[in-house]
Amino acid sequence: MSDVRVMSWNIRTFDVGTLAPDLTNMANIIIHEDADIVCVQEIQIGYGVPNLIDAPISAPQQAVVAALHAALVANDGASGWLFAFSGANRGTPINGGMRDAYAFFYKATPQTAGRYPAIALNAGPGISPPAGQGWYPGRRPGWIQLNLTDPGAPATNTLIYIYSIHAATNQMAVPNAAQAIRYMPTLVGGQGPGFAGAAFPLPNIATLVVGDFNYDANALPAGGGPYANLMVNYSMGIPGNAGAPVGSTYALGNPPVGGPPVNKTANLYDNIFHLMPGSQGVPPAGSLVIAGTANPTVYDFISVMMPALVAGGLTNNAAFWALYKTQHGHGGVSDHLPVLLDIQF
């Protein structure tokens, strides 16, 4: 039985100013973690993009996504890396809110034993819901459909649907806490928010919901808070609260000079959810089962890279952290750590 390794990563304000060494570092992180499918949030759309949902991102922004793909190919040519990207995830910005897009990288020919040996684009990417086909709070999710094929005995062919989201940054705010999470079942199926018991049809193919949810899964109220409806039918891959919580996938502020290398405030913002087998008593085709040694994993590349960078001239932890958390197009990688899940169908 084959499996696939999925990575979700918010690469902060990924834009045309991203430096070539940082692109190489990003590619090396992805390759080091042996991800087969990589879902990237916070792709900047660039200038001159119409205020329309799913408007194409600018040519310079397309080029920087292509540059990360080129870095993957240069360092892992055998895997046949391919990529695709969505358009803008919202129309007119509200109160200066960010409009961005989503990128998806995947190996056409994964080389790791036990993995699906072939991955192909089936549909997308796109933004959901499309313009004029429903309301969604804040930035809308992107989506892609991929076909996983194993020609072995018996031959298997699995279609997966992936939703990737960069939720609004005021997710913890009151009274509109985490609307983007609460409304996710309106797209991916299950119990919707505030609909007097309304349930939305579950997909009949394997489905993942990944991204930066901007709501700490290590600080959930009883019942799951904003994740409660989604978790009726979808399992949280990187468990929060009582389920062996991860320290952090996102860190705020700089540590003091001489302090710890990473300020790991417990902010489990990033996650991967998967449609559970037999959800609502109807086994969806291609239901998911957790499997694999990298499941779940948060890769702390900041701590891994720090010794070499300090040896190369950075004088203290604060200087290191200021460099590697920023990635505002002017050096660094990201203030988010990538999360990974091995999934078996």
* pLDDT tens sequence across 258-311: 444 444 445 788 999 998 876 544 444 444 444 444 555 777 776 676 666 666
| CB of 180 closer than 8 Å to CB of 165 | yes
Whole-angstrom CA distances from 77 to 23, 38, 74, 148, 154 are 16, 16, 6, 20, 28
Q: How far is CA 298 from CA 60, 110, 184, 323, in A?
A: 31, 21, 23, 20
Mind giving me the DSSP string for 292-339? STTSSEE--HHHHHHHHHHHTT--SHHHHHHHHTT-SSSS---SB--E
- pLDDT-derived band at 154 (thresholds 50, 70, 90) equals confident
State the angle between helix axes of 59-75 and 20-32 in degrees (0 to 180), rounded to the nearest 10: 50
Question: 3-344 domain in CATH 3.60.10.10?
Answer: yes
**Dist CA 200 CA 49 (whole Å):** 33
For the segment 39-80, what is each residue's pLDDT rounded down to a tens digit? Answer: 999 999 999 999 999 999 999 999 999 999 999 999 999 999
At 228-245, the pLDDT tens digits run: 889 888 988 887 654 444
Task: Specify the pLDDT at position 36.
Answer: 97
User: Mean pLDDT score of the chain, rounded to an integer?
Assistant: 80
**Whole-number Å distance between alpha carbons of 174 and 172:** 7
pLDDT for position 253: 47
Looking at per-residue pLDDT, the higher value among 131 and 252 belongs to 131
